[in-house]
Structure 1
């Protein structure tokens, strides 16, 4: 049943060593990728928190209201875009 006298040949040692190296490389690669993703996420959050002109979060109506409050759009454009967002295009009856 146990041929080769319980020993492992040269190819067995090679396969075991190769598999170990591949496993360790995968573990290191996953750790590096997770660290990069975490670093980019926290850097993005920090930049957004410190920059008031960063892309605002929230619903489309909130974004539109913020643009109106900052003076980027006028009252007419605000009302028009708000109606479009709510699905009531100007000049149509509901």
Structure 2
């Protein structure tokens, strides 16, 4: 005698799905644990190796500054000033900033007749 359209075994569908899902999660966790145990999954160590022999921050900043000068974004005086600041060779103080806009003293316009 049949019990429903699946012969009474309709409850096995979700059980099989969740069983396979649990097996997949266990497999991933096992793989991660093995990678960590072997030392092949240390993110901090990978980042340290990547940047150990890279350019210093000053060299990187100087190359960006040189690119800006080459594109004409800054003039020669500005380039030399900024490069000396990066290298720690600053010898003179920068000029004072201009006064804020709107603070200039103006005389009133006389009325016209």
Output the TM-score relative to the length of structure 2: 0.40
Larger Rg: 2
